[in-house]
Amino acid sequence: MLLAATALSGILFATVVWPLLRHARREAGEIVPLAVSPAAAAPEHPPVPCRTVRVYFIKPSKYDDRGRVAHFWKGVLPNNTLTVLAALNEAYNRLHDDDGVYVETVIWDEQVDGPVLP
Note the pLDDT of residue 83.
85
In a domain? residue 82 = yes
Taking the mean position of all CA atoms in its chain, how far away is CA 72? 25
Note the pLDDT of residue 40.
62
In a domain? residue 1 = no
Number of domains in the chain: 1
In a domain? residue 29 = no
Mean pLDDT in residue range 87-99:
89
Residues listed for the chain: 118
Q: Within the chain, where are the H helices?
A: 2-12, 18-29, 81-95, 110-113
Note the pLDDT of residue 3.
73
**What percent of the chain is modeled with pLDDT above 90?**
13
In a domain? residue 22 = no
Question: Running DSSP on this structure, what letter comes out for residue 103?
Answer: E
In a domain? residue 38 = no
Domain range spanning residue 63? 51-113
pLDDT tens-digit readout, 34-48: 565 556 666 677 777
Note the pLDDT of residue 78.
61
> 3-state DSSP call for residue 105?
strand
In a domain? residue 59 = yes
pLDDT tens-digit readout, 48-79: 788 899 998 888 777 778 877 776 666 665 66
Measured between alpha carbons, how far is 113 from 81 in angstroms, rounded to an integer?
17
Note the pLDDT of residue 98.
79
In Å, what is the CA distance from 110 to each residue of 5, 66, 75, 77? 60, 16, 9, 12
pTM of the model: 0.46
Computed over every residue of the chain, the mean pLDDT equals 76
